[in-house]
Amino acid sequence: MAPWWQGAVVYQVYPRSFADSDGDGIGDLSGIEGKLDYIAALGIDAVWLSPVHPSPNRDFGYDVADFMDIDRAMGGRKAFDALLKAVHQRGLKLILDEVLSHTSDLHPWFQESLKDRTNPKADWYVWAEPRLDGTAPNNWLSVFGGPAWSYFPTRRQYYFHKFLKEQPKLNLRNPHARGAAMDVLRYWLDAGVDGFRLDVANSFLHDDQLRDNPPVPLDERTAHHWAHAPHLQKRTRDSNLPENRAILDEIRALAAPYPDAFVFGEFSEAPELLGHFAGAEHGLHSGYTFTYLDDRSFKPAIFAQHTAFLESIAGLWPCITFSNHDVPRTVTRYGRADRDDALAKLALALLVTLKGTALLYQGEELGLGDGPIALDQIRDPVGKLYFPYSKGRDPCRTPMPWRSDAPHLGFSSGAPWLPMAPAHRDQAVDRQAGDSQSVLSFSRALIAWRRGEDALRHGGIAMIEASEQILAFERAASGAAIGCYFNLSKDPASVTLGPRADWAPSGFSVGEVPREGGTLRLGPRSAYFCAKPR
């Protein structure tokens, strides 16, 4: 029997922006508990919570100050225990986002480590000598811009931070630091959570000789590389080391006594290592790359090529995601629009018919686009670095719209931490729930269809066609099969069904798809599904 997570739909909640129960403008755990019936009605299998531990919020939860507690702004431990119980009562799973690569600089571990070179936690972080001229030990660059090293005078050394200087990198080569990180996972599994999403799971280890990252050769550089200085380096020394696998194997072994635990990772920089870091018998249970998250083309070739790559990895069951808290929302990225319901439906249909565990970001089921952010409203350090070229990640994190007639669209009774997107008023849950043609109604029907089709939930995948407009593939399991045909373009397209000409329409489609014998006339942004006779 396949584990529960294979073919599941996991709903990502960004807690600060989901639902606020106490009017302080920050979403919290009681707010999430109050919306669990809504989440359950989507038909999802598990809820993934972005970080909820105490944090000074320099990076909004991804800078953890205490791994063993729950942030008071989120409601504290009592609210967490109530949420966990309520999730389980609805037959759902709860997955925590854990950040084991680094901590906040206010974490007691780092506060002790920075005192001197001889304290018990002196080697729990990555410290290094300055060069003779006082400059950083090597050329590593922070993901958030600038050198990945900051000097601290009490030790007369630099410490490594892959992200903000307030996020010092744990030295997981140190067995005591490593053991403490494992204790975090064990503690929350014992508390009853059902698994973890591991942040930057490719970055637990660094090169122990602190050698420079090599440059991306000039003739290989694209607009993507020039968009951000760190992209001009091959991240092979500060992260993405093959030996990183040893820690992932240890995590896999730690989770093994908890039979339903699911641990998946974010592998953002080196997609070619996905099969090394996750698999049927090694590494994490699953993981995802940024191949789809970085894509803005929505071209069939992208999906066909990445599917072929995933299928080439023996034993891998991947996670599939088009949107999350770090990237522009799907309709904004693929459609360059604040709203495009046809595109939203098409992308959702593709997400849940591709092979893998689907990760659905909050608001994706409503077809939300990014919200507008003014300079004085920016909270994200990436936005502060690059405005107006980029507003950072705040636009995809604007709060959920629940009620079109309520202050702040029902997210909070107080001023939200990020502004509500005005365009989201017409897309609020209350307006969509009673509209049979809405993106929300479509999402519910789509996920229910997936749950009832073993070929979609657990089946294999075989590519049929990937042209300039058409993406077509077949999902099959236990004698059942479904043909999936997508026109990802804005223009009409035709495709011949061939050996699937006698397959019956599934009753589920997107847009206008007239069928003339064995030929489909796919309208713009449309999809057609047919089922093999049983």
* Domain co-membership, 56 together with 196: yes
* Domain co-membership, 282 together with 365: yes
* CATH value at residue 76: 3.20.20.80
* Domain co-membership, 279 together with 183: yes
Domain count, the chain: 2
Q: What pLDDT, on the 0 to 100 scale, is given for residue 507?
A: 84
350 vs 487: CA distance, rounded Å: 11
**Helix 341-353, helix 439-452: angle, nearest 10:** 10
- Could you tell me if residue 299 is inside a domain? yes
Region of 231 on the Ramachandran plot (φ > 0 left; ψ -120 to 50 alpha; else beta): alpha
383 vs 376: CA distance, rounded Å: 11
Residue 269 is a catalytic residue: no
Q: What pLDDT, on the 0 to 100 scale, is given for residue 153?
A: 96
* Domain co-membership, 33 together with 94: yes
- Could you tell me if residue 522 is inside a domain? yes
- Could you tell me if residue 130 is inside a domain? no
Domain with 465 in it? 461-531
* Strand (E) or helix (H) holding 450: helix 439-452
* Domain co-membership, 347 together with 495: no
Last residue of a domain, which of 397, 425, 449? 449
Nearest to 409 by CA among 423, 395, 388, 397: 423
How are the residues of the chain apportioned to helix, strand and coil, as percentages rounded to the nearest 5? Answer: 30, 20, 50
* Domain co-membership, 93 together with 201: yes
Catalytic residue among 28, 63, 166, 199: 199
Q: What pLDDT, on the 0 to 100 scale, is given for residue 486?
A: 98
250-278 in b/e form (b: 16+ CB < 10 A) is bbbebbeebeebbbbbbbbbbbebbbbbb
341 vs 328: CA distance, rounded Å: 16
272 vs 153: CA distance, rounded Å: 39
* Domain co-membership, 196 together with 343: yes
Q: What pLDDT, on the 0 to 100 scale, is given for residue 517?
A: 87
* Domain co-membership, 490 together with 388: no
- Could you tell me if residue 107 is inside a domain? no
190 vs 258: CA distance, rounded Å: 9
- Could you tell me if residue 213 is inside a domain? no
**Sites in the chain below the pLDDT cut of 50:** none
* Domain co-membership, 319 together with 400: yes
* CATH value at residue 504: 2.60.40.1180
459 vs 479: CA distance, rounded Å: 10
> Are 397 and 329 spatial neighbours (Cβ–Cβ below 8 Å)?
no
440 vs 449: CA distance, rounded Å: 14
Nearest to 52 by CA among 109, 107, 95: 95
Last residue of a domain, which of 424, 449, 474? 449
Q: What pLDDT, on the 0 to 100 scale, is given for residue 172?
A: 98
* Domain co-membership, 378 together with 472: no
438 vs 201: CA distance, rounded Å: 37
182 vs 310: CA distance, rounded Å: 29
The three-class DSSP label of residue 527 is strand
The three-class DSSP label of residue 326 is coil
- Could you tell me if residue 309 is inside a domain? yes
CA dihedral in degrees (208, 209, 212, 213; nearest 10)? -30
Catalytic residue among 45, 98, 266, 394: 266
In degrees, rounded to 5, the angle at the alpha carbon of residue 39 between the alpha carbons of residues 36 and 44 is 130
- Could you tell me if residue 527 is inside a domain? yes
In DSSP terms, 157 is beta-bridged to: 152
229 vs 216: CA distance, rounded Å: 11
Last residue of a domain, which of 420, 449, 478? 449
* Domain co-membership, 303 together with 187: yes
Give tens-digit pLDDT for 147-180.
999 999 999 999 999 999 999 999 999 999 999 9
359 vs 224: CA distance, rounded Å: 24
pTM of the entire structure?
0.98
269 vs 152: CA distance, rounded Å: 29
Residue 266 is a catalytic residue: yes
The residue written with tokens 């077949």 in the block is 474
What are the C-alpha distances in Å from 96 to residues 70, 246, 347?
A: 11, 22, 26
Maximum Cα–Cα distance for the chain, whole Å?
78
The residue written with tokens 């909004």 in the block is 60
* Domain co-membership, 474 together with 371: no
- Could you tell me if residue 249 is inside a domain? yes
